[in-house]
């Protein structure tokens, strides 16, 4: 094998991760501390040193994996090895998933949990999960069952993530000592912090962005705290209860679409299904900034509605010009949303509570989000309903730090607005009249 030189300066949590041998490990901390890089470096080193070692790098979605995690691997971890031929990329085949193949027979398979068919039939010695708060406990347990390959090394699954809600299953698993928690800090990242603790030029710019965050997002992404939002609007929301594994939705269930228009702020389109008992399921969601309505219409037609029955109604924000464009491009009519905020929030809150059979009346599919918006990801903004809810908080009255207004803070609320349109249309305004194809 060619003597490939890999230059990497592990500090703090990253250094600890490289030597950790626990079967379950989570490296968690604020945004920009080098968690994913440390995890990928360990995957690379292990593959170089252990012939025949089979590993898996995985995220919730294949698109997020290829658009972010694998870019980091190729540009910051394996650049020289790929150039020298020590590692080569295999793009996959009908029988084998994509993988980085090493000259010593080691492999790093890659995949998204939205496309698990190929890699879940394989056995691994190491599994690496990026942005792990996005996956379910069921997914983790399934992945652990694949830790049974026979390479000459210990078996391990590593999760990398930013902090989330303090009741998230990752935090609870670490608190119960089933999983080891390794804390990652900004001073661990040489890109942003010098060895003497001063910020680099890039660090000054990056930390200024984090310092501008507010509320629960500042606590999580700037300070690294597993925090719940103070003054949370939907106190009845619980990820383990309301975010569910996807299933094949019967064609006979009613479909609805809700739309919240935006350009600089995100445009949101949600596809909902209603079961015979009136429960609502968010099964697909499109969130994207800086796109024209006519381009969003193509996504709604070709992806949101792909393979789905015709929706009973498309319920939208009130912008007349955007509604007209959407109707023209889709060839369908739209209906103006019930916009009253207070009663709409109360209606959503009522659906989050357990009904007579012990189940709530509103759910979100874990894989509902079609794609992640790169600009929103770069700014550490929540994307989609399941991520927005935790930071959806009541506004504080001016001059009264202890009081709350009757309306929520108007930021990072676009998916919440679209969900409110759905519930309000169903529970407050009666069943919308059907408007067919134009």
Q: Which two tokens stand for residue 138?
A: 């069921």
Question: Given a cut of 90, is residue 293 above it in pLDDT?
Answer: yes
Q: Please provide the DSSP assignment of 43-65 as one string.
A: HHHHHHHSTT-EEEEEESSHHHI
Digit-coded pLDDT (tens) for 331-354: 999 999 999 999 999 999 999 998
Distance CA 14, CA 20 (A): 10
Q: Which of 250, 247, 226, 93 is nearest to 169 (CA)?
A: 226
pLDDT tens-digit series, residues 242-252: 988 899 999 99
pLDDT (average), residues 4-21: 86
Identical topology for domains 12-211 and 239-427: no
Percent of the chain with pLDDT over 90: 70
Any alpha helices (H) in 50-123, and if so which ranges?
A: 62-64, 70-72, 79-84
pLDDT bucket at 401, cuts 50 / 70 / 90: low
Q: How confident is the model at residue 1 (pLDDT cuts 50, 70, 90)?
A: very low
Topology annotation, domain 12-211: Rossmann fold (3.40.50)
pLDDT tens-digit series, residues 223-234: 998 987 778 899
Which band of pLDDT confidence, cut at 50, 70 and 90, is reported for residue 431? Answer: very low
Average pLDDT over residues 168-197: 92
* DSSP single-letter state for residue 311: P
Sorted by sequence, the CB contacts under 8 Å of residue 435 that are 6+ apart come out as: 313, 332, 333, 334, 335
Fold for 239-427, please state it. Answer: Nucleotidyltransferase; domain 5 (3.30.420)
Average pLDDT over residues 162-186: 92
| Backbone φ and ψ of 247, nearest 5° | -145, 165
- Asked if residues 370 and 285 have their Cβ atoms less than 8 Å apart, the reply is yes
C-alpha dist (Å) from residue 189 to 13, 34, 80, 151: 10, 5, 21, 31
Residues 274 and 357 sit within 8 Å (Cβ to Cβ) = no
Q: Look at the block and give the residue holding tokens 């379950």.
A: 24
* pLDDT for res 436: 45
Q: What is the pLDDT of residues 115-159, one digit of tens each?
A: 777 788 899 999 999 999 988 898 999 999 999 999 999 999 999
Q: Domain coordinates of the chain in residue numbers?
A: 12-211, 239-427
75 in Cβ contact with 21 (< 8 Å)? no
Asked whether the predicted pLDDT for residue 405 surpasses 70, the reply is: no
């Amino acid at each position: 094998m060619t003597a490939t030189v890999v230059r990497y300066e592990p500090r703090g949590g990253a250094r600890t991760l490289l030597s950790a041998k626990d079967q379950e490990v989570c490296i968690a901390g604020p945004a920009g501390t080098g968690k994913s890089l440390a995890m990928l470096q360990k995957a690379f080193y292990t593959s170089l040193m252990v012939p025949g070692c089979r590993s898996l790098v995985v995220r919730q979605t294949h698109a997020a994996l290829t658009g972010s995690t694998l870019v980091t691997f190729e540009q910051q971890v394996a650049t020289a090895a790929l150039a020298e031929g020590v590692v080569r990329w295999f793009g996959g085949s009908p029988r084998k998933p994509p993988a980085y193949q090493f000259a010593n027979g080691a492999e790093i398979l890659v995949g998204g949990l939205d496309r698990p068919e190929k890699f879940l039939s394989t056995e691994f010695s190491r599994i690496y999960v990026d942005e792990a708060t996005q996956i379910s406990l069921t997914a983790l347990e399934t992945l652990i069952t694949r830790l049974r390959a026979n390479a000459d090394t210990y078996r391990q699954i590593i999760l990398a993530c930013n902090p989330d809600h303090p009741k998230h299953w990752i935090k609870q698993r670490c608190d119960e000592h089933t999983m080891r928690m390794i804390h990652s800090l900004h001073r661990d990242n040489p890109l942003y912090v010098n060895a003497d603790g001063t910020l680099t030029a890039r660090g000054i710019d990056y930390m200024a962005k984090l310092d501008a965050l507010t509320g629960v997002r500042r606590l999580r992404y700037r300070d690294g705290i597993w925090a719940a939002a103070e003054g949370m609007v939907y106190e009845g929301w619980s990820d383990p209860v309301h975010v569910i594994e996807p299933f094949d939705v019967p064609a006979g269930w009613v479909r609805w679409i809700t739309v919240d228009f935006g350009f600089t702020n995100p445009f949101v389109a949600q596809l909902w299904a209603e079961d015979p008992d009136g429960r609502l399921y968010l099964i697909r969601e499109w969130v994207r900034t800086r796109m024209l309505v006519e381009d969003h219409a193509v996504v709604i037609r070709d992806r949101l509605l792909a393979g789905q029955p015709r929706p009973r109604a498309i319920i939208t924000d009130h912008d007349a010009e955007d509604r007209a464009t959407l109707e023209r491009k889709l060839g369908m009519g739209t209906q103006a949303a019930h916009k009253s905020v207070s009663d709409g929030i109360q209606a959503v809150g009522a659906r989050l509570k357990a009904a007579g059979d012990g189940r709530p009346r509103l759910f979100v599919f874990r894989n509902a989000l079609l794609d992640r918006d790169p600009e929103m990801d770069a700014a550490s903004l929540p994307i989609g309903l399941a991520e927005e809810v935790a930071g959806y908080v009541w506004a504080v009255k001016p001059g009264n730090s202890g009081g709350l207004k009757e309306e929520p803070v108007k930021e990072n609320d676009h998916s919440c607005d679209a969900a409110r349109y759905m519930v309000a249309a169903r529970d407050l305004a009666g069943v919308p009249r059907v408007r067919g194809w134009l």
